[in-house]
Amino acid sequence: MTVFARTDRSLLAHWWWTIDRWILAALMLLLLLGFLSTFAAGPAASARLDLDPFYFVYRQSVFLGLSLFIILALSLLRREDIQTLGIILFVISYVAMILTLWVGTETRGAARWLQIGAFTLQPSEFLKPGFVILMAALLAPGQNKNTVQKSSKEVSRRRLLSMLLPLAVLPLLALQPDIGQAALIFSAWCVLLFLDGIPILFVLLLIVVAGVGAFGAYIIFPHVSTRVDRFFNPGSGETYQADRALEAFQSGGLFGRGPGEGEIKYLLPDAHTDYVLAVIGEEYGGIVCIFLLLLFSYILLRGFSRFLGERDVFIRLAACGLLFLFGMQTLINMSVNFNLLPPKGMTLPFLSYGGSSCLAVAITMGMVLALSRARTHTPLHHEVTA
Partner 1 sequence: MIGHDYLPHPKERMRRNILSATPQASAARRLLLLMIVFVFVCGVVGARMFDMAAPNYQVNPIATAQASFIADERKRPTITDRNGNIVAIDIATASLFADPAKISDTDNTAHKLASLLPVDESVIKAKLQNPNKRFVWVARYLTPKQQAMIHNLGLPGVGFKQEYRRIYPQGELFSHILGYANIDNKGIAGLEKFLDQNPNDDSVTLSLDLQAQHAVREELSAAMQEFDAQGATATLLDIRNGEVVAMVSLPDFDPNHPMQSPPRNRFNQATLGVYEPGSVAKSFTVAMAIESAGLKPDAVFDASEPLRIGKFSVRDFHPQARPLNIAEILAHSSNIGAVKLALQVEENQHRQFWEQLGLLDAVGLEVPETGKPITPKKWGELERATISYGYGVSVSPLQLATATATLVNGGFRIAPTILHQPHVHVEGERVLSKETSDTMRALLRQAVLAGTGQRADVPAYPVLGKTGTAEKVTANGYDKNKRRAFFLSAFPAQRPQYALIVMLDEPKANASTFGYATAGWTAAPLTSRIVKRVAPLLGLRPAEIHTSPEQYAHLVAQP
d(CA 256, CA 98): 44
Q: With binding defined as CB under 8 A, does residue 311 bind partner 1?
A: yes
The reply to whether 250 sits near partner 1 by the rule CB under 8 A is yes
Element spanning 111, H or E = strand 110-116
Residues 6+ apart with CB under 8 A from 18: 373, 376
Contact between 348 and partner 1 per CB under 8 A: no
131 contributes a contact to partner 1 by CB under 8 A: no
Nearer to partner 1, 122 or 352 (CB): 352
Q: How many residues bind partner 1 (CB under 8 A)?
A: 46
Query: Rounded distance, CA 91 to CA 78, Å?
Result: 20
Q: Does 187 bind partner 1 (CB under 8 A)?
A: no
67 CB neighbour count, 10 Å cutoff: 27
Q: Is 320 in the site for partner 1 (CB under 8 A)?
A: yes
Calpha distance 20→16 (Å, rounded):
9
Amino acid letter, residue 203:
V
Kindly list the strands in the beta sheet with 105-107, ordered across the sheet, starting from the edge strand earlier in the chain.
105-107, 110-116, 119-121
Give CA–CA dist 191/208, Å, rounded. 14
**Apex CA 128: angle with CA 60 and CA 27, to 5°?**
45
Q: State which of residues 72, 195, 210, 214 lies at the interface with partner 1 (CB under 8 A).
A: 195
327, 342, 343, 366: which one binds partner 1 (CB under 8 A): 327
Residue 371 touches partner 1, criterion: CB under 8 A: no
Q: Is 144 among the residues that bind partner 1 (CB under 8 A)?
A: no
Determine the number of helices (DSSP H) and then strands (DSSP E) in the chain.
17, 3
**Pattern of binders to partner 1 over 49-88, x per CB under 8 A?**
----------------------------------------
Closest contact distance (angstroms) between CB of 293 and partner 1 is: 5
Q: Which residues bind partner 1 (CB under 8 A)?
A: 191, 194-197, 246-247, 249-250, 252-254, 263, 266-267, 281, 285-287, 289-290, 293-294, 296-297, 300-301, 304-305, 307-309, 311, 313, 316, 320, 324, 327, 331, 334-335, 338, 340, 378, 381-382
